[in-house]
C-alpha cells in the first residue's frame, strides 16, 4: 500500500506548465528520488507535497488521508530546504525546539526530545551555537533534526547536498541514508545528480519537463530505461540508429527484438561494447581515448552523429590504442541492449 | 624578469605607497573637508559659546566657565522642557513604528504597480519641506474651522470642536506624519529583502501565519526596527518647527527654547548651553537605542 500518493498533479505559472499530470506513489519506509535536470519541476512537485505550492488539479494523499487542501502547517510533512533555512536568530537547540514550542509541549519534554534529536544527528553539545557558527554539514544535520524531532510521517529533502563540497557530500550521503534507515521514515529526495540518486534511493522517478518519465529501482532504470532520455540521465548510454528486419537488429544481429520491421534505436551502455574482429559490427576509428586506471574509455567515430562510447577493462601495462586506429565494435551481451522506436514514433 | 614584475618591484618605498593608498581615505577627503568646515567647526564654536560669557556680542572674560551650564541644569523649566521633548519624541517614534511596520510588510508582499504606489505615497512627504507640512497640519487641526473639526461637527460625531491645536497631540500627530518615511525606509529595505524560505520553514514546522510573523519576520527585522527608532527619535527630539507651529506660542520644548534664546532673545550663551544639553542628551538616548538594538540582534554578530 502506498504511503504517499500524488495523483494527476497539474501546476502552471502563467502559460508555462510546470507540472503536467504527475502521478507518483511511494510505499511506507521507502526512499524515493525525484531525478531530473533543473527546471523539470521536481522541486515544485516536492513543494506541492509540503503545501507551499497549490496545484490546479490533482490530489495528495499521505497515510490514507487526503491533504491537498491543508495549510502547510497542518501537514505532517518534514521539509529540509536546499540551503537549510535555519533560523539565524535562534540557537541550534532553539531551532530544533521551534516546532515543539509551536505545539506547546511542556518544557521538560522539549528539552528531552531536542536532546534526543541532536544525539540522533551526532550534534550533542552544539545546542548553544548559532547556525552561522556551524559548518555546512552540521547545518544540514540541524535542519534534519529540526524536522525529525516532530516525528513527521514523511521527510522531504530538496537537493540537501548541493551546498556541501564534494568530499563532504559523499560522507553525508552515506550518513543520511543510514539515518533514514534507522528512523524508518518515508522519504522523498530531489536531486539532479544521478550518482546521488543511485546511492540513496530505493526507487528513482526520472522527470522531464513536468512529467515523470519512469519510476523504478535504480538498477532497473539503469538496465531497462524506457527511452533514450532516461538512459542518458542515469549513467551513460549510446543511442544508435538501427534497422529492424525480421526480429533482428541490423547491424548488430546478435540482438533480437519483438519489434516490427523498420527503423529503430538501440540503447547500449558503454561497458556492454567491446572491440571485435567480426565484420558484422560497427566499423570505425578511435577518435579519443583516456585511460582511467582500471578502465580505458574510448570514443569511436563510426560516422554517426554521436561518437560511440566504449569502456574496456584495462590490464596492467596496457596502453590505449592510438587515435585513428581502425577498429570494429560489437555488442558483448545482447540481453543488455534495449531496442526502442525511432525518435519520430516512440 | 618580465616587464610586469619589473614594474611592480620598482618605485616608491612601502611607507610612501601605503600613504598614497590611504586605505580608501583619499576619495572621502572632499566630503571630510566640507563637513569639518561647515559642520564641525560651526558646531564647536556654537557649543563653545555656552562656556564663555557674552555681552553685547563680545566675549567677556578670559577663561571658560561652567557657570552657565550649572545654572541651566538647576533650572526646573529646562528639566520640564527636556522631559516634554523626550516624551513627545518617544510617543511619536513608537507611533511611527506601529504605523510604518504594517505598510513596509504590505510593501514586501505586493508586486508591480501596487509596490510603486505604496513607495510613492510614503516617500512623497519628503518632497515637500517640513515647514509646509506643518502648516498643512495647522489647516487640518486648526480651531473651530479646521478641516478635522468641521468634518466631525458636520458628521455629528462631536458637539464641541476638539481642542487639538496647541496641545501635545497636535505636535505628536504632526511629527509622526512628517517623520514616518525615516521609519519606513529601513524597514522596507530589510523586509522586502528578507529570505522567504525561513517563513516556509516555520510553516512547515507547524507555525501558523501569525506565529510565523512574530517568531520569524519580526525578530529578523530587529536591526531595521532599531535603526528606524534611532533615526526618528533623533529627528523628533530635536525638531523645533513642528512644536513651534502646532504647539502654539506658549508651547515649548528644549529645541524650541534653543531657537528662541538664540534668535529671539539673542542670549547666545544660554542658547548654546541649551543646545549642548539637547545634543548630548540626544546622543545618550540614541546610543541607548542602538545598544538595545544590538543586544536584541546579537545573532547577527555570530559568524565563524
| B2 pLDDT more than 70 | no
- Are B206 and A99 an interchain contact pair (Cβ–Cβ within 8 Å)? yes
Copy the grid coordinates of residue A192.
539532479
Could you give the strand order of the β-sheet that contains A262-268, starting from the edge strand earlier in sequence? Answer: A248-250, A238-245, A262-268, A338-341
Q: Which residues contact B217 (CB under 8 A, 6 or more apart)?
A: B105, B191, B194, B199
pLDDT per position as a tens digit, B58-114: 777 777 888 888 888 898 999 999 999 999 999 999 999 999 999 999 999 998 899
Pairs from B9-13 (Cβ < 8 Å, separation ≥ 24): none
| B47 pLDDT more than 70 | yes
Best of A84, A102, A151 to mutate (most B CBs within 10 Å, chain B): A102
pLDDT-derived band at A115, boundaries 50, 70, 90: very high
Q: How far apart are CA B284 and CA B277, in angstroms?
A: 11
- Are A103 and B206 an interchain contact pair (Cβ–Cβ within 8 Å)? yes
**What is the least distance, in Å, from the CA of A105 to any CA of chain B?**
13
* Chain A residues touching chain B at CB-CB below 8 Å: 50-52, 71-73, 75, 77-79, 81, 83, 85-90, 98-99, 102-103, 129-130, 132-133, 146-147, 150
| Per-residue model confidence (pLDDT) at position B185 | 92
Q: In chain A, whose CA is at the least distance from the CA of B299?
A: A89
Mean pLDDT of the B13-39 span: 87
- Are B200 and A79 an interchain contact pair (Cβ–Cβ within 8 Å)? yes
| Per-residue model confidence (pLDDT) at position B5 | 53
Query: Which of A52, A73, A85 has its CB closest to that of B208?
Result: A73
pLDDT per position as a tens digit, A252-284: 777 777 777 788 888 888 888 888 876 667 888
Burial of A129 (0-12, 13-18, 19+ CB in 10 A): middle
Mean pLDDT of the B279-297 span: 92
**What is the least distance, in Å, from the CA of B222 to any CA of chain A?**
10
Q: How far apart are CA B81 and CA B79, in angstroms?
A: 5
Q: In chain B, whose CA is at the least distance from the CA of A143?
A: B201
Q: What is the mean pLDDT of chain B?
A: 87
- Are A73 and B203 an interchain contact pair (Cβ–Cβ within 8 Å)? yes
pLDDT per position as a tens digit, A146-160: 999 999 999 999 998
- Are B304 and A132 an interchain contact pair (Cβ–Cβ within 8 Å)? yes
Cβ contacts (< 8 Å) between A89 and chain B: which residues?
219-220, 222, 297, 299
Copy the grid coordinates of residue B10.
620598482
Mean pLDDT of the B277-282 span: 94
| Per-residue model confidence (pLDDT) at position B3 | 55
Mean pLDDT of the B238-262 span: 89
pTM of the model: 0.80
- Are A71 and B203 an interchain contact pair (Cβ–Cβ within 8 Å)? yes
pLDDT per position as a tens digit, A33-55: 999 888 888 999 999 999 999 99
| B188 pLDDT more than 50 | yes
Amino acid at each position: 500500500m502506498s504511503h504517499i500518493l500524488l495523483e494527476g498533479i497539474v501546476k502552471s505559472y502563467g502559460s508555462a506548465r510546470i507540472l503536467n499530470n504527475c502521478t507518483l506513489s511511494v510505499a511506507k519506509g521507502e526512499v524515493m528520488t525525484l531525478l531530473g535536470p533543473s527546471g523539470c519541476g521536481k522541486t515544485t512537485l516536492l513543494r506541492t507535497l509540503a503545501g507551499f505550492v497549490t496545484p490546479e488539479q490533482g490530489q495528495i494523499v499521505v497515510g490514507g488521508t487526503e491533504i491537498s487542501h491543508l495549510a502547510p502547517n497542518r501537514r505532517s510533512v518534514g521539509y529540509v530546504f536546499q540551503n537549510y533555512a535555519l533560523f539565524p536568530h535562534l540557537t541550534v537547540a532553539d531551532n530544533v525546539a521551534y516546532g515543539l514550542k509551536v505545539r506547546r509541549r511542556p518544557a521538560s519534554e522539549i528539552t528531552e526530545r531536542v536532546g534526543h534529536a541532536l544525539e540522533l544527528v551526532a550534534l550533542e553539545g552544539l545546542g548553544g551555537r548559532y547556525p552561522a557558527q556551524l559548518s555546512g554539514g552540521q547545518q544540514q544535520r540541524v535542519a534534519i533534526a529540526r524536522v525529525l524531532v516532530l516525528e513527521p510521517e514523511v521527510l522531504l529533502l530538496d537537493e540537501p547536498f548541493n551546498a556541501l563540497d564534494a568530499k563532504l557530500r559523499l560522507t553525508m550521503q552515506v550518513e543520511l541514508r543510514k539515518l533514514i534507515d534507522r528512523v524508518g521514515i518515508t522519504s522523498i529526495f530531489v536531486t539532479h545528480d544521478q550518482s546521488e540518486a543511485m546511492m540513496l534511493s530505493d526507487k528513482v522517478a526520472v522527470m522531464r519537463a513536468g512529467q515523470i518519465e519512469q519510476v523504478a529501482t535504480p538498477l532497473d532504470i539503469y538496465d531497462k530505461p524506457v527511452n533514450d532520455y532516461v538512459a542518458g540521465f542515469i549513467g551513460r548510454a549510446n543511442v544508435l540508429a538501427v534497422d529492424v528486419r525480421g526480429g533482428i537488429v541490423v547491424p548488430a544481429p546478435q540482438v533480437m527484438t519483438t519489434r516490427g520491421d523498420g527503423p529503430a534505436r538501440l540503447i547500449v551502455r558503454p561497458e556492454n561494447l567491446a572491440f571485435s574482429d567480426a565484420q558484422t559490427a560497427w566499423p570505425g576509428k578511435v577518435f579519443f581515448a583516456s585511460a582511467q586506471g582500471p578502465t580505458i574509455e574510448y570514443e569511436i567515430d563510426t560516422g554517426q552523429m554521436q561518437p560511440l562510447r566504449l569502456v574496456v577493462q584495462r590490464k596492467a601495462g596496457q596502453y590505449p590504442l592510438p587515435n585513428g586506429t581502425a577498429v570494429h565494435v560489437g555488442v558483448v551481451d545482447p540481453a543488455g541492449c534495449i531496442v526502442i522506436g525511432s525518435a519520430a514514433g516512440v | 624578469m618580465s616587464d610586469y614584475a619589473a614594474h611592480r618591484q620598482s618605485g616608491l618605498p612601502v611607507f610612501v605607497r601605503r600613504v598614497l593608498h590611504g586605505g580608501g581615505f583619499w576619495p572621502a577627503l572632499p566630503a571630510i573637508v566640507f563637513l569639518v568646515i561647515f559642520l564641525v567647526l560651526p558646531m564647536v564654536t556654537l557649543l563653545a559659546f555656552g562656556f564663555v560669557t557674552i555681552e553685547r556680542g563680545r566675549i567677556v572674560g578670559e577663561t571658560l566657565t561652567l557657570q552657565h551650564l550649572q545654572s541651566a541644569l538647576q533650572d526646573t523649566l529646562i528639566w520640564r522642557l527636556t522631559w516634554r521633548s523626550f516624551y513627545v519624541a518617544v510617543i511619536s517614534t513608537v507611533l511611527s513604528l506601529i504605523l510604518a511596520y504594517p505598510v513596509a510588510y504590505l510593501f514586501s508582499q505586493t508586486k508591480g504597480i501596487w509596490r510603486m504606489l505604496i513607495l510613492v505615497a510614503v516617500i512623497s512627504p519628503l518632497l515637500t519641506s517640513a515647514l509646509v507640512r506643518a502648516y498643512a497640519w495647522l489647516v487640518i487641526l486648526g480651531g473651530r474651522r479646521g478641516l478635522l473639526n468641521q468634518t466631525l461637527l458636520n458628521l455629528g460625531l462631536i458637539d464641541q470642536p476638539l481642542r487639538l491645536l496647541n496641545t501635545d497631540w497636535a505636535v505628536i500627530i504632526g511629527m509622526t506624519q512628517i517623520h514616518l518615511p525615516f521609519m519606513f525606509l529601513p524597514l522596507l529595505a530589510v523586509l522586502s529583502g528578507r529570505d522567504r524560505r525561513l517563513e516556509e520553514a516555520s510553516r512547515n514546522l507547524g507555525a501558523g501565519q501569525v506565529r510565523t510573523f512574530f517568531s520569524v519576520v519580526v525578530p529578523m527585522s530587529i536591526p531595521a526596527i532599531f535603526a528606524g527608532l534611532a533615526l526618528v527619535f533623533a529627528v523628533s527630539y530635536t525638531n523645533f518647527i513642528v512644536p513651534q507651529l502646532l504647539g502654539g506660542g506658549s508651547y515649548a520644548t528644549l529645541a524650541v527654547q534653543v531657537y528662541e534664546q538664540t534668535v529671539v532673545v539673542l542670549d547666545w550663551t544660554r542658547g548654546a548651553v541649551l543646545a549642548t544639553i539637547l545634543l548630548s542628551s540626544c546622543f545618550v538616548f540614541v546610543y541607548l537605542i542602538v545598544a538595545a538594538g544590538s543586544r536584541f540582534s546579537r545573532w547577527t554578530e555570530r559568524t565563524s
